[in-house]
Structure 1
C-alpha cells in the first residue's frame, strides 16, 4: 500500500490521499511499522475532533524519528489542542527530542520535558490555532534509550468555532453596538451606531466575523485597523431665519449660529467651533495668551447669559507664519489660530461646529452671499454688543478694497455689506463668515467657514470701508495636521 523512497538513509512512507508523513531510520524496529495499523493519523477530510499520539504510546518512543501530522477542521473553526500526556526528553531549547506545532511555517510552540505542576509549561493548558489547520512535527535523536526512556505524548484535538470576540470600542461615550444580544462567532454580524444625534458615523457600520477571527466590513475593512468612529455633525443649525446685521443689526436667535463662540478676557473676540474639542479664531485675539488658560462661551446669544456653555482652553496654537509686531500690528498675514479645549464640548442644538470649507476655484465665497456674526460693536455701542449680531456680506475683488497702507496678501479676502450699516467692528475679530447665507443651509448644503474676521478700517459701518477676512481654505492642511498632532 505504500510507496517507498530511500534517501539519506531514511525511508519515507506516503499514504496516497492524506497529508500524513512518517520518517524512520532503516534500522528502526519492525513493531513501529506494525503500529501504523492502529496509530491515529490525520483524516483526509476535515474532522471535528480526534487525537494524535507518539508511536507506541504508552510505551517509550523510538529514536531517530521524524513524523508529521496534518490536522484540519472545517472552515470557520479553529483547532484546540489539549495534552493528556507529555513526556519528551528534556533539553535546552528542545534541541534533542521535541514536538513542534506549526501553522503555515510559523512555530506556535515547541515542547519537550514533562508535564508537571508548573503552570507555565505549555502542555498544561490548551493551545488554540489561529486557523483551521496546523502541522504537528515529532522529532527524536538517538538518545531516548536505557532506563530513563520517555513515553512521548497523547494530544486530543477538537474544532472550536471561530470567535471574533467583542470588538474594542475606543470611545464608548460616543459609539456603541446596535445589538442587544451580541453573538461574536463565525459569520455573525454586528453594527455600530452613534449615541448622539449630534454625531455621525465615520467609517463602515456593519461587520461580519470571518474565518480568521477578524471583524470585516462589507468593503473588506478590518475593524482592528479601520474602526468606525463618531464625528460631530457640522454646519447645521436649529432653524433658518432671515438675515440680520452685525453693526447696528438684528439679534440672532438661539441655535441659529451654534458654532459662534465668545471670549471676553483679556481680549474680547469671537471664534468658531470646528469640532467637539477645537475652535478656530484670529491670531490677534489670542496673541500673547498661548501659555494661559482662557474661557470661551458658547450656546448663547446673550453675552451675559449665566447658562452659557463654558469652555476652558488646553492649548492655543497660533499659525507659525503670523508675525507679532509692537506696539501696533501692521501686517495681518496668517491671522489664524487654533484653540483646543480641555474637555469635550457637550454638543446640542445650540452648540454645534461649523464645517471647514472646500477649496474654491474662483472667488472665495463662490459668488454667494454669506453671513458674518459676532458680539462686537454696533451702531448703538461701538465697543461691544451684549447680544449676538449677524448680517449678510458679499465678496469684493478689488485689491485693496479700501485705502490702506497695510499689506494685503493672498491669505486674505475682502467682504462687506451693500448697506452702510452692515459691517464688522471692534470685538468681532476671530468670528466666522460662513456661506451660504444664513437661512439657506441644509443637510445637502451645510454652512462652511470661509473667513475669519481679521482687520479693517478704524471706522465701522461705512459702505466704502469693507473688512478683510482670513482665507480659511488656504490653511486646511495646517488645521488638520495641527489637530491630529495635538
Structure 2
C-alpha cells in the first residue's frame, strides 16, 4: 500500500475567543481520542496536514481483484482537498469494473459520495477525475480502489494528493485540533509556491508541485523517480540488452529533453564473429562546458579493450569505430539543463573468419527449420529455429534455436549439437480463459478447452469396510502420466505410513467437463511420495501411470511443470492462479460440470499466521492462496487439482501447486486460505519416477 503523511505544524497563541471556545469544546469529545495509524491489511489511515496515496504496485500496473481503502483525516476544524496527478484505470460503463470511489466521512457513520471514477487514458474520458479538486464537507475522506477479476490489458492506476484547507479563522491563523487533542495552526494567507513561482530555480520542482499550508513538496510523472534532492525527477532507464544484428537506442524521450539526474547503461551484444559499427545521428544535443570536457552530461562507449568518449555538445560524434561484438553505452545527466539528447544506430558486419559455412540444417521428423534473418544465410553466426509441424507438440530442448559456430556445426546454447525433437505441447489451452471474468462466488463454469489438463479421478478404497468411493482431481503431465495429491490416492488406514490404493480401483477420466461421463482409463501404477505424512499432509503429491495412453488433442493436453524456485517463494504474493474442479460448494453438493476460480497467492507469513494456534503445520513444501475476505475457494472434491499459473513470457500454464488441505471452517470462509503442495519441490522425484518406468 502506498501512502505518505506529514504532521508538521506551526502556530501562535493569539486566537479569537469564539474560535477558542469551539476548539475547547472539541477537546472534550471522546470520539477525538488517539486514532490508530493503520488498520487491517486492506486499509491505510493517513493523518496530518498533507499526504499522498497510489494504487497498488504503482508505477507498475495494478493487479486484478485487489481492493484497497484509504481513510484520510486532517485536523478537526479543517477540510480535505483531494486531487489526482495521474489516473489510468480500465474504462467501463458506469464504472462497474475497476474504479475509485471518493466519499465524505471516516467510515464510522453516514457517508456521501463525492465521486466515482474510472478510465482516464483517453483525453475525453468523462468518467475520469478532471483538473478540479474534490473538497470534503468536514475533516475526513474515504478513498476506495477496486479492480475486478481480469483486465484485457494493463492499466497503470492512479496517484492522488491531499492537504488540509479552511479551519477556524483566528487572526492570521487557521486553527484545528488533531487526533492527539493538540492545537494545529496553519497560516490563513499561505503563499502558493507552486502557482506563484516564489521559489528559487534550484529549489523548484522538476515535474509536479504540490502546495499545502506552510510549504510544498514535489513528485514525478509516471516512469520517473524522485531524486534524493526531493525536487529533480530522474528516469528509470538502462539495463537493456540489444542482441539483433542491427538496431538503435537513444537518450530517454528523445527528441524531447532528457531527464535530469539520470545514469543509464545499455548493452549491445551481437554474435561472436561479427563486428559492430556505431553511428550517432546528426541531431545531437548534450549539455557541455566551454572550458571543461563534458563535466555535466555525457555519453560514453565502453568495450573490453577500453573507453571511447565522453561525448557532449551539439556536434555529433558521427561514426564511432569499435572492433568488438559487444559494447556498453553509458549516458549521464546532472540536475540542470533542458537538452534534447541523442540517437545512435548500430549495424554489424562479418569478421574475417565468418566465411565458415554450416550448410543446410539437419532435417528433424515432424519439424521444420526456419532461418532467423532475411538472407537465409548458413554462414558463421547465422541462426535457425526448429518449429514443430503439429501445434499440439513443442520443440525441445529449449527454444529449438541453433547457431552456426566457428567449427561449421549448428550448435544449441545448452544442448550443443544434439538434434531437437517434438514432444507433446504443455500448458496450451485450446480455448484461453475469457479476458473479462467477473466475480462469481464459488467460481464459474469452465468452457471446453479452458483446462485440457484437468482429469477426474474416481477412487474405490477396498481397504475400508464397506468399500469407500470418492473422487478428486489431477493434471495430465503427458499422455501416460497424471499428477495429483497423495491423500487422494492413499488408502485410508490407521498408522503413520501411507499406502497407495490398488491401481485397479482408480479410474482416470480426461478431456471432459461433465463428471457423469462414462468410460475412463484405469491406472497401471500409483506412486505416493515416500515422505508423505497423512498426519499433516506434508509432501502431499502422487503420480499415476496410466494403463492406456490418453489421446491428446483440443480436449486433453498436458500441463507444464514449474521451474525450480529453490528457497524463494513459490510465487510472489498476489500472483493469480486458476484452480478447476468438481468440488462441493456449501450445501449445494458436488456440481456435475467443471467449475473454476482465480485465486491470488498469499504471503507465506500471512498463510502461517492464519493457521496459527489451531494445531496446523504449514511447512516450506506448502503455500496458501485465496482471498482474505473469503467468497471463493477450493472445496472437498477439488483435491489433487492443479493451481495453474501462466508464464507471462510464453503464455504456457504450469502446475505451481496441487490442492491439498484447508481448515475445518466452511470453504470460502473469511481468512481460511486453501493450502497447496509446492510442485517445484518435487521436480527431481517426478523425473526419476518417469525415467524409471
Q: Give the alignment's TM-score, normalised by structure 2.
A: 0.37
> Are the equivalent residues in 2 in contact too, given 1:244–1:250 (CA < 8 A)?
no
Tell me, which stretches of 5 or more residues in structure 1 are unaligned?
1-166, 170-174, 180-190, 209-215, 324-328
Q: 2:428 aligns with which of 206, 217, 236?
A: 236
Following the alignment from structure 2 to structure 1, what is the Cα–Cα distance between the partners of residues 412 and 632?
A: 53
Give 1:78-157 correspondences, 5 Å limit: none
Correspondence for 2:395 among 198, 201, 208: 201
Q: Deviations over 1:407-434 (max 9, x none)?
A: 2211111111355220111111101111
Between stretches 242-251 and 419-428, larger displacement belongs to 242-251
1:292 match: 503
Could you tell me which runs of 5 or more consecutive residues in structure 2 were left unpaired when the two chains were aligned: 1-361, 370-384, 461-469, 492-499
- Superposition pairs for residues 361-372 of structure 1, below 5 Å? 362-367=568-573, 368-372=575-579
| Superposed displacement of residue 473, structure 1 | 1.0
- Partners of 2:529 and 2:393 in 1: how far apart? 28
Give the conservation status (yes or no) of the 8 Å contact 1:290–1:317: no
- Aligned partners of 2:649 and 2:556: how far apart in 1? 17
* Cα distance change on mapping 1:362 and 1:207 into 2, 3 Å: closer
- The reply on whether 1:260 has 2:466 as its aligned counterpart is no
Asked whether the 8 Å contact 1:248–1:379 carries over to 2, the reply is no
1:461 and 1:432 mapped to 2: Cα distance?
Answer: 18
Name the stretch that deviates more: 371-380 or 451-460.
371-380
2:553 is matched with which residue: 331, 338, 348? 348
Give the 3 Å change call, closer, same or farther, for CA 426–192 of structure 1 in structure 2. same
Q: CA RMSD in A?
A: 3.5
Match in the other structure for 2:315: none
CA–CA separation in structure 1 for the residues paired with 2:639 and 2:512: 18
Q: CA deviation at 1:195?
A: 5.8
Q: Per the alignment, in what secondary structure is the counterpart of residue 691 of structure 2?
A: helix
Q: 1:352 to 1:334 in 2, by over 3 A?
A: same
Contact 1:277 1:344 in 2 (8 A): yes
1:463 aligns with 2:655: no
Change (3 A) 1:207 1:377: same
Query: Take 1:195 and 1:304, find their aligned partners in 2: how far apart are those partners?
Result: 35
Q: How far, CA to CA, are the matches of 1:231 and 1:435 in structure 2?
A: 21
Distance in 1 separating the partners of 2:367 and 2:562: 32
Residues 227, 270 of structure 1: alpha-carbon distance in 2 compared, 3 angstrom cutoff: same
1:250 matched to 2:444: yes
Could you give the per-residue CA deviations for residues 313-332 of structure 1, whole angstroms, max 9, x where no partner exists? 22111100013xxxxx4321
CA contact (8 A) 2:403 2:411 kept: no
Q: Residues of 2 paired with 1:348 and 1:201: CA distance?
A: 17
How many angstroms does 1:219 deviate by?
2.4
Residues 281 and 219 of structure 1: CA distance in aligned 2, closer, same or farther (over 3 Å): same
Rate the CA distance shift 1:168–1:394 in 2: closer, same or farther, 3 A.
closer
Relative to structure 1, the CA distance from residue 419 to residue 352 in structure 2 (aligned partners, 3 Å threshold; closer, same or farther) is farther
**Compared CA separation, residues 206 and 420, structure 1 to 2 (3 A):** closer
CA distance in 1, matches of 2:490, 2:440: 24
Q: How does 1:25-64 map to 2 (within 5 A)?
A: none
Query: Who is 1:388 aligned against?
Result: 594
Cα pair distance change 1:275/1:220, threshold 3 Å:
closer
Distance 1:365 1:207, change over 3 A: closer
- The secondary structure found in structure 2 opposite 1:478 is helix
Query: Residue by residue, what CA displacement relative to the aligned partner does 1:148-176 show, whole Å, maximum 9, x if unpaired?
Result: xxxxxxxxxxxxxxxxxxx999xxxxx44
Cα offset, 1:192, TM superposition: 8.5
CA 1:442–1:277 in 2, change beyond 3 Å: closer, same or farther? farther
**Aligned counterpart, 2:542:** 337
- Provide Cα deviations, 1:343-389, integer angstroms capped at 9, x if missing partner: 3321112211111112336432223121122111114524x221111
Between the aligned partners of 1:330 and 1:207, the Cα distance in structure 2 is 53
Return the alpha-carbon distance in structure 2 between the equivalents of residues 312 and 205 of structure 1: 39
Counterpart CA distance in 1 for 2:657 and 2:411 is 37
- Name the SS for the 1:469 alignment partner: strand
- Which residue of 1 is the match for residue 563 of structure 2? 358
The higher radius of gyration belongs to 1
Confirm or deny that 1:448 pairs with 2:654: yes
Q: CA separation in 2, counterparts of 1:193 and 1:283?
A: 37
Q: Indicate the SS of the match to 2:564.
A: coil
Q: 1:322 to 1:205 in 2, by over 3 A?
A: same
Distance in 2, Cα, partners of 1:248 & 1:411: 26
What is the Cα deviation at residue 465 of structure 1? 1.1
TM-score by length of 1: 0.52
